[in-house]
A and B are shown apart, each in its own frame.
Chain A
Amino acid sequence: MISSSVNKIKKGMRRYKKIISLLWVFILWAFVASAQNIPNKPNPPRLVNDFTNTLTADQQQALEKKLVTFDDSTSTQIAVVIVETLDGADISDYALQVGRSWGVGGANYNNGVVLLIAKSDRKINISTGYGVEGALPDITCKHIIDEIIKPNFKGNDFYRGIDEGTSAIIKAVKGEYQTPRQKNKGNTSGRIVLLIVIVIVLLTIFSRGGGGGSYMSGRGHRGFMGPMFFPMGGGFGSSSGNDSGGGFGGFGGGSFGGGGASGGW
């Protein structure tokens, strides 16, 4: 009896240990996976991000203009990212991290596309946000890479490859996301109303208790209770910050799910 129960405990311990060690492996793995050297979000925001000086300033400007125009008319954001090397990372994973951490595409429609080029690795990836997966299926991405970008890159014509590649992406996306960009959705006003109601309730409760100065104490409580009600807050958003002079208005917070295709040249 006793020995069997001791055995049972031992068995349980062993299982527990196994689970713990597996967990550790997972955590380490997740850490390694997320600790890649993704370039920081460009500031001021840009759609064409050449970290290798492959394109001339004029070429960058021409591309940027084309992509910003497309963003303005359809709200679909295509980010071009050229890096020197991936440091051994998987290119689709790298592009996903860029897309997610920069927030390419709108948050509501997730309509962002990342065209990533790793120059010395000679690799190309097109990653699609959740919202454009329908318009830009993996096969289309692969075709754009293989038939349009790759031949140009082989002839060392990077600008032409990127220019024609992005034009093909634009063509593919057109028609599906004609939604105009919405500025500052209502969400926050609901919170403000709720806050006011709560303050009024607290004010009436506390002002019944006695005379002067109670108004002040009510305000004090609002300051105190505020963060308690909205611990997730701080996000009284101001998403449309620098909309100056027809330039790129900034990334919208779109998300990616691993869609797209990769290739090399």
Chain B
Amino acid sequence: MSTSKIILFSLLGLFLIVFFWGCNGYNSLIGADQGVKKVWGNVETNYQRRTDLYNSVIKTIEGSANFEKSTLKDVIEARSKATSIKVDINDPASLAAYQKAQANLQGSFSRLMAVAESYPNLKTTDAFRDFQTQIEGTENRINVARQDYNKSIEDFNLRVKRFPSVILARLFGYNEKPYYKADEGTEKAPDIKFDIK
């Protein structure tokens, strides 16, 4: 084998290695990006699920006569604010706004529940007990979805920042994505207590 042939083949081999590495790296980057989108979808679905639950509670309360109107109004305002926000997970500001609006909605809803406590004919119904169970389950799901989201973000960000995959990430314009931080002051799932006994 002549020297030029050896050089040619080793170049070809090198090119193949780089090419396959590039494909592989790019595909896994895309996979991680899709993974993030999927788990983010889970987060949104679960927040939506919670909002739907809130809606049915709000409707029940609206139906009962002479309920204190101001707390109800707060919840309805917070709800419309929370549902109006569109999130782009590549944009930390919109994620923060979304999180704040959701936390707000949750806060005003628990205030509404506190007021509902003083309406005994309301809180002792079976429907209300079921709401409690459902809201508990939904808060759990939100928590899990958020943890999963952060895990996938960790995976994605590592790919974007680590050498050598950082080269591919830069090349194809992938940037770090923001984590979903714990709500201010509440690192744990909030507990809404109806206190039905």
Q: Which residues of A are interface residues toward B (Cβ below 8 A)?
A: 22-23, 25-26, 29-30, 33, 90, 92-93, 96, 138-139, 141-142, 205-206, 209-210, 225, 228-229, 231-232, 256-262
Q: Does B55 contact A (CB under 8 A)?
A: no
Task: Report yes or no: B133 in contact with A258, Cβ–Cβ below 8 A.
Answer: no
Across-interface contacts of A92 in B (CB, < 8 A): 140
Cα-based distance from A261 to B140 in the complex (angstroms) = 10
Q: Is the interface of B mostly helix, strand, loop or mixed?
A: helix
CB distance from B161 to the nearest CB of A (A): 13
CB distance from A42 to the nearest CB of B (A): 24
Task: Report yes or no: A261 in contact with B136, Cβ–Cβ below 8 A.
Answer: yes
Cα-based distance from A141 to B144 in the complex (angstroms) = 18
- In which size bucket is the chain B interface? 20 to 34
Task: Report yes or no: A22 in contact with B136, Cβ–Cβ below 8 A.
Answer: no
Cα-based distance from A30 to B143 in the complex (angstroms) = 12
Task: Report yes or no: A23 in contact with B179, Cβ–Cβ below 8 A.
Answer: yes
Residue of A whose beta carbon sits closest to that of B143: A258
- Give 5 new A-B contacts, CB below 8 A, not counting A205-B12, A258-B145, A259-B141: A96-B140, A258-B142, A258-B143, A260-B137, A261-B133
Cα-based distance from A210 to B8 in the complex (angstroms) = 13
CB distance from B139 to the nearest CB of A (A): 8
Cα-based distance from A92 to B9 in the complex (angstroms) = 59
- A26-B179, A142-B133 in contact; A258/B144 too (CB < 8 A)? yes
CB distance from B81 to the nearest CB of A (A): 24
Cα-based distance from A236 to B136 in the complex (angstroms) = 40
Task: Report yes or no: B136 in contact with A29, Cβ–Cβ below 8 A.
Answer: no
**Interface-facing stretch out of B16-24, B65-73, B105-113, B166-174:** B16-24
Closest 10 CB pairs of A and B: A138-B137, A258-B144, A258-B140, A258-B141, A142-B133, A92-B140, A139-B130, A138-B133, A210-B1, A261-B133
Residue of B whose beta carbon sits closest to that of A206: B9
Interface bits B118-135 vs A (CB < 8 Å: 1, else 0):
000000000000100110
Q: Does B150 contact A (CB under 8 A)?
A: yes
CB distance from A57 to the nearest CB of B (A): 34
CB distance from B128 to the nearest CB of A (A): 12
22 residue pairs from A and B, CB less than 8 Å apart: A22-B181, A23-B179, A26-B182, A29-B182, A30-B150, A33-B147, A92-B140, A138-B136, A142-B130, A205-B12, A206-B9, A209-B9, A225-B17, A228-B24, A229-B20, A257-B144, A258-B137, A258-B140, A258-B142, A258-B144, A260-B137, A261-B136
Q: Does B5 contact A (CB under 8 A)?
A: yes
Task: Report yes or no: A228 in contact with B1, Cβ–Cβ below 8 A.
Answer: no
Task: Report yes or no: A259 in contact with B147, Cβ–Cβ below 8 A.
Answer: no
Residue of A whose beta carbon sits closest to that of B5: A209
Across-interface contacts of A262 in B (CB, < 8 A): 136
Which of A25, A90, A258 has the largest number of chain B CB atoms within 10 A? A258
CB distance from A190 to the nearest CB of B (A): 15
Residue of A whose beta carbon sits closest to that of B189: A90
Across-interface contacts of B143 in A (CB, < 8 A): 93, 258
Across-interface contacts of A257 in B (CB, < 8 A): 42, 141, 144-145
Cα-based distance from A57 to B125 in the complex (angstroms) = 43
Cα-based distance from A225 to B130 in the complex (angstroms) = 57
Identify which of residues 156-176 in chain B touch chain A, using a CB-to-CB cut-off of 8 Å. none
Across-interface contacts of A141 in B (CB, < 8 A): 133
